[in-house]
Structure 1
Amino acid sequence: MSPPTAEDQAALIKQFRQRLVEEDLIHDGDTIGTDDWTLVRFLRARQYDLDAATTMWATSQEWRKTIGGVGIDELFNAEDPYDYPEREKVFDYWPMWFHKTDKEGRPLNIQLYGGINMPELYKHITPEKFWHSIVTTAESIPREVMPAASREAGKQIDGTFVIVDLKGFGLTQFWQMRNMVRDSFQMTQDNYPEMMAKFFIINAPYSFTTIWSVVKLWIAKETLAKIDILGSDYKSVLLTHIDPENLPESMGGTCRCEDVGGCKWKKPPRR
C-alpha cells in the first residue's frame, strides 16, 4: 500500500481522532500524546487501517495503565530514566546514550553492544528494575527527547537515529540478552510505534548472520525496512547522515566530548 497524500493523511487523522473520541480512548492531557504527530505514528504502524490503528491504540492505553502494576505515569514520575542510583553501573554493562543529532535534527541514540555483560549488570540492579528503566527510557523519547529536538530544529522531528555498534559482540552476549532484546522490540513496536527514523548496525561480525536470523523474526517489516547492516567500513555512510562534529571520534567523527559523548547523564529538558 502506497503512503497517502498529505490531503488524504489529514483526512485519516481527523477520522482516527473522531473514532478515538467516540470510543472514549483519547482525552485532553493523555500522556500517550494527543497531537497529530502521535496519531499518525499509530496509523502508519497499521498501514493507515483505522480499525487496526484503533485496536492498537486501545491496547497501548491499557498497557500504559497497568505496566509495572502502577502504570507508566507513576513509573516515569517516580524515577528519572537518565539519573537513578544504579545508572552508572547500568551504563557500564549496557552502554546506551543520546548524543547530539544527525543532519536532519534527529537525536542520535548510540548503543555499544560489545560492552554488554548481563551477569555483571544483574549484580547491581534487579531484572525488574532494569526492565522498568528500559520502559521509562522509551517513554522519555516522545515525552521529552523528541519535543526538545523539534524545538531546537524549529520543525517536527520524525524520529531517532539509532546506531548499534557490534564491535566485540558475540554469541555468548547475545544468548544472555536475547529475551531482553526481544521484549524491548515488542514493547516499543506495540506502544511507541514509528519512533525510529534510521537504524544502522555497524561492525557486524561474521557471527551476526546467526544472530540476525533470530532477531529479524522479532521485528516488524516496517522497522526492518529502516535497518542497514554494515561491517567495519561504515564511517563514510554515517557521515553522509551526520556532521563530523556530532559523531564521536571513535565512530569516525570529530567529537571528543567527555564521558563517551558527554551526554550519558544529560536529561532532555521537559516541555
Structure 2
Amino acid sequence: MVLITEEMLKQFQTMMEKIDEPLKITYQNIHQGYPAATLRRFLKARDGNVSKAHKMLTDCLNWRVQNEIDNILAKPIIPSDLYRAIRDSQLVGMSGYSKEGLPVISIGAGLTTFDKASIHYYVQSHIQMNEYRDRVILPAATKKYGRHISTCIKVFDMTGLKLSALNQIKLLTVITSIDDLNYPEKTETYFIVNAPYIFSACWKVVKPLLHERTRKKVQLLSGCGKDELLKIMDNDSLPHFCKREGSGSTKHSTGERIDNCFSLDHYFHQQLYSYVKEQANIQQSDALLKQGSFHVKFPESDDAKIAESIECTLQRLGAQNGLSNSFHNVIVDGKSS
C-alpha cells in the first residue's frame, strides 16, 4: 500500500487553495473540518499520485455542484409509502457502532430487488445515506469517541442470492461508481456473511479484477459471522441477520421490528427521514414539496469490466443448472412477464 507523505499532502493542499468559490463551499461539506484527512483519502484512491488525486477531487466537487448534492438532504422521497417501498427493496441500514466507534452499515445484498421505483429514486436514497453518514453520523461519532472518525464498516448479507441477481448489476454498478469516484476510502472493512455457492463462484472471478487495496478490505466470514464480528462490536450493534445461524436478511421483520435495521421503522431510518424532512422545511418553508425523484448524473467508472465478469459467471452457472433458453433470456435482458 502506498505511503502518503506530508509532502504529498502539502502539494495537494496548495493546489486545492486555487479552486473556485462554489467548489470551496461543497469542499467544506466533504471534509467537515478535516481537510487533510479528505486529501489523504483521495490520495489513497489514486495511489499517491497528487495530480490524479487533484483531478479526482475537483471532478467530485464539480459533480456535487452540478447535481446539487449539498441540498440532497433537503429532498425527501415522498410520499412516505414510496419511501417505505424503497426501504423494503433496497436493504440498507445502520445497526450500531464498532468498539472503535465506526458506524456499522448493513446491506442485504442477497434479497435486495430494486424493483419498487425508478433507478433515480434508488440513487437518491443511496446518496442521502452517504451524505447523512458523512455530515451527521461521522461528526457525531467523532465528538462521542474523542477522535476523528471518517470511515465505516460494511456487513453484506448474501442470504437469498440467486441467478436473478443479474437484473441488479446495472444499478449496482451505478451506485458503486458513485461511491468509488465521490466517496473514496470511506469503508474500513467489507465483511461478507451467509454467502451461498453462487457468491463464492462470482468472487473467484471478481477478486483478481479488484485493486489490491480493496481486496485487502474484504473478509469472507463463515456462516452468519457472529463470532468474528463480536470481536469488534457489541451484540447490540450486530446486524440482525448475524445474531443467529440461518437468520439471514428479511424484507419484512419478524419478532421485534425495531431490530431489523433495513426497516423504515428502525431508529436509523426514522432519524434519517426526520432529518431530511426538517431540512426540507428549513430550506423550503414557503414552497410545497413536490413528488419526484432527485435526478443525479451517473458517473462513468471502470466497474463495467467487473459487471461483465459477474454476468458471464452467472450465465455459466445458469447453463450448468439447466436453465431454459427462454428463462435465460429473461434474466439476461432484465425483463419479466
TM-score by length of 1: 0.82
Stretch of structure 1 that moved more, 51-60 or 25-34: 25-34
| Distance across 2 between alignment mates of 1:116 and 1:233 | 18
Partner of 2:129: 137
| Distance across 2 between alignment mates of 1:36 and 1:106 | 19
Q: Is the 8 A contact 2:224 2:241 kept in 1?
A: no
**Structure showing greater relative contact order (alpha-carbon pairs closer than 8 Å, 6 or more residues apart):** 2
Change (3 A) 1:240 1:259: closer
Segments of structure 2 that go 5 or more residues without pairing to the other structure are 245-255, 277-337
Partner of 2:99: 103
Equivalent of 2:71 in 74, 86, 98? 74
1:27 is the counterpart of 2:24: yes
Q: Is the 8 A contact 1:92 1:115 kept in 2?
A: no
User: Shift of residue 2 of structure 1?
Assistant: 4.1
Aligned length: 255
SS in 1 for 2:267: coil
User: Shift of residue 189 of structure 1?
Assistant: 0.9
Q: Is the 8 A contact 2:138 2:149 kept in 1?
A: yes
Query: What are the superposed Cα offsets for residues 122-148 of structure 1, whole Å, 9 maximum, x if unpaired?
Result: xxx222222222222222222222112
Segments of structure 1 that go 5 or more residues without pairing to the other structure are none
| Distance across 2 between alignment mates of 1:27 and 1:80 | 28
TM-score by length of 2: 0.67
1:177 is the counterpart of 2:173: no
Change (3 A) 1:209 1:185: same
| Distance across 2 between alignment mates of 1:216 and 1:177 | 19
Change (3 A) 1:149 1:249: same
- Larger-gyration structure (1/2): 2
Equivalent of 1:199 in 175, 190, 202? 190
Partner of 1:235: 226
User: Shift of residue 20 of structure 1?
Assistant: 1.3
Q: Is the 8 A contact 2:73 2:128 kept in 1?
A: yes
Query: What are the superposed Cα offsets for residues 51-107 of structure 1, whole Å, 9 maximum, x if unpaired?
Result: 11111111111211223xxx21233332379x9552211121122101110111000
Query: What are the superposed Cα offsets for residues 137-189 of structure 1, whole Å, 9 maximum, x if unpaired?
Result: 222222222112211211111411100101122121x2121111112111111
1:89 is the counterpart of 2:85: yes
Which of structure 1's runs of 4+ aligned residues deviate more than 6 A?
A: none
Q: Is the 8 A contact 2:56 2:181 kept in 1?
A: yes
| Distance across 1 between alignment mates of 2:152 and 2:63 | 23
Residue type of the alignment partner of 1:40: R
Partner of 2:62: 62
User: Share of identical aligned residues, percent?
Assistant: 24
| Distance across 1 between alignment mates of 2:102 and 2:26 | 25
Partner of 2:42: 42
| Distance across 1 between alignment mates of 2:83 and 2:268 | 10
SS in 2 for 1:105: coil
| Distance across 2 between alignment mates of 1:184 and 1:263 | 24
Change (3 A) 1:183 1:28: closer
Change (3 A) 1:250 1:20: closer
Q: Is the 8 A contact 2:157 2:192 kept in 1?
A: yes
SS in 2 for 1:47: coil
Residue type of the alignment partner of 1:75: I
What does residue range 212-251 of structure 1 map to in structure 2 within 5 Å?
212-213=203-204, 215-216=206-207, 219-232=210-223, 234-248=225-239, 250-251=241-242
RMSD: 2.8
